Chains A and B, each alone.
Chain A
Amino acid sequence: MPAAVSITNLSKTYATGFTALKGVDLEVRKGEIFALLGPNGAGKTTLIGIVCGIVNATGGTVLVSGHDVVSEYRKTRSLIGLVPQEVSIDAFESVWNTVSFSRGLFGKGPNPAHIEKVLKALSLWDKKDEKVLNLSGGMKRRVLIAKALSHEPEILFLDEPTAGVDVELRRDMWEMVRGLRETGVTIILTTHYIEEAEEMADRIGVINHGEIILVEDKRTLMRNLGKKQLRLELLSPVDAIPETLAGRGLELADGGATLVYSYDTHGERTGITALLGDLNQAGLRFRDLETRQSSLEEIFVNLVKERA
């Protein structure tokens, strides 16, 4: 079975001389939720644009379900639904018309039952005769998704789907995306909200300055790169770390009220037992303790910083 999207040595240099992509290789498997993470200007939207046919590549090839996006564009584009980053929909059309228009544009005959299903799934059914103009920002975003789903795509691209969207709608969208995956749709989303990737993705790719830094299963990524912290809240604050505890990588936080110990969960030993013993000897007593796993966000920030 060919990959949903297979990208080989893809590069893009804009007329301005700006190089957005530098030899990107990437494979997205059928049926997965793939999150492409990266800061603004990393090349995410350019990458999507090339796969969808909006941007011409400078070099490299892109296969969608085994078909070339340039020479077999009719085939590949009909397989893809795209939800763009910018909210651009014809404002004067009704929701129903604009979604039906998209279906036709992608070469499918009218199917009111399918449009109805999509609109209902996105809670747009009661707005179907409303002009897009009169909808709230969040509703417009739903309309964009409905348009992308109108022709029953096998692959759905969501370019920053929840930028500027309230928490409730974000949850709804995540729910909807999971539901789509259940039906076998491959989902590729770009985001700079780590939370989103952490919540949704099966695999995560990190892109920065037009290069893919890594592609990893989300759980592996979190496990391999995750550091844990032990935070000890002291009974009485201290001015400095006692000399007997020097060299253990301890840090003071909260004005001396908290001791922070970072350790690697995969190390031979975490050093926690020894540390606690030493603390006792140093006469430091604590009132509370907690451990914290670094989030994907921290991992990401570190990765991007390292390679910058």
Chain B
Amino acid sequence: MNLHAVKSIYMFEMARTFRTVMQSIISPVISTSLYFVVFGAAIGSRIEQIGGVSYGAFIVPGLIMMSLLTLSISNASFGIYFPKFTGTIYEVLSAPISYVEIVLAYVGAAATKSIMIGLVILATAAFFVDLRIEHPFMMLLFLVLTAVTFSLFGFIIGIWADGFEKLQIVPLLIVMPLAFLGGTFYSIDMLPPVWQTISLGNPVVYLVSGFRWSFIGTSDVNIGISLAMTLFFLVACLAIVAWIFRTGYKLKT
């Protein structure tokens, strides 16, 4: 194990995060605060309680999850796409480092950043609503699993993309809609039965539902199923990454 290399890449990526602290940390905090003001305070005050909590508190897990998804993807995809774009990837490819180590470093850094931001948003939320976390350990577990899974997913996108447009297209056209339709702002119980069934095909539903369960103790989907589905996505992403490195897809000619 080339620990020096893993540490070097990890620290390098984290340094990039702190160098762009405005864009990396402050902007998600501001945008989430706006969601709380609009949906939590302005509109939420006219909505009845859901699952025994105010609407503001209800959307907290969904908002964190949504930020976690989009940020994990953008961090990780950019982290690996940028060296490809500038050509500095040559150094990583020519270094005595295994694929597992490359993934560990890049995905680890992207996930760390998302988790940090997730926690910052959580702290921000505490200013707007009364937070209650029923299962703190499970909350952290979902936070970490989601950050890692979607950082892996972002890593895959970053390798697949051969232009900035492609880098944006998946988060914008697939992840955002799935996140909005995944029960971020509502309980899927509120949907007509047909749409409830369709929603079960949306992976984000399980993430939001499981995460929300760790906060308020009730959920749309059984917590065991949520956890199993999250692990399933993790394994699926790992399998794709393993395939990428075995074939050298878009990295090596």
Contacts and interface: CB of A to CB of B under 8 A. Distances in A.
Interface in A34-79: 52-56, 73-78
Nearest to A91: B86
Contacts, number: 76
Contacts of A93: 12, 15
Contact of A54 (B2, B4, B86, B94): B94
Interface stretch (A81-89, A201-209, A246-254): A81-89
A106 B5 contact: yes
B9 interface: yes
A54 B95 contact: no
A105 B5 CA distance: 4
Among A15, A53, A107, which residue has the most Cβ atoms of chain B within 10 A? A107
Contacts of A56: 248, 252-253
Contacts of B12: 90, 93, 101
Given A14-B253, A105-B5, A109-B4, A53 B86 contact: no
B2 to A, nearest CB: 5
A108 interface: yes
A97 B16 CA distance: 12
B156 to A, nearest CB: 20
B252 A108 contact: no
A105 B87 contact: no
Contacts of A147: 91
Which DSSP category, helix, strand, loop or mixed, fits chain B's interface? helix
Interface in B170-223: none
A80 B97 CA distance: 13
Contact of B95 (A84, A88, A91, A105): A105
A89 B96 contact: no
Among B4, B86, B91, which residue has the most Cβ atoms of chain A within 10 A? B91
Contacts of A91: 86
Interface string B1-27: 010110111001001100100000000
Interface residues of B, number: 26
B91 A105 contact: yes
Interface in B97-149: 97-98
Contacts of B2: 74, 107
B88 A89 contact: yes
Given A107-B4, A109-B4, A54 B90 contact: yes
Interface in B39-88: 83, 86-88
A293 interface: no
Contacts of A73: 96
A90 B252 contact: no
A8 interface: no
A54 B96 contact: no
B92 interface: yes
A55 B96 contact: no
Given A74-B2, A104-B5, A107-B5, A82 B252 contact: no
Nearest to A159: B90
Interface in A13-28: 14-15
B93 interface: yes
A102 B83 CA distance: 14
B96 A88 contact: no
A199 to B, nearest CB: 27
A54 B88 contact: no
14 contacts: A53-B94, A55-B253, A56-B253, A73-B96, A78-B96, A90-B86, A92-B19, A101-B8, A104-B4, A105-B5, A105-B95, A106-B5, A107-B5, A107-B97
Given A93-B15, A105-B5, 19 more contacts: A52-B94, A54-B93, A55-B252, A56-B252, A76-B96, A77-B94, A77-B95, A78-B96, A82-B90, A88-B86, A88-B90, A92-B19, A101-B12, A104-B7, A105-B8, A106-B95, A107-B2, A107-B95, A147-B91
Q: Which 5 A-B pairs have the closest CB atoms?
A: A104-B8, A88-B87, A77-B96, A74-B96, A52-B94
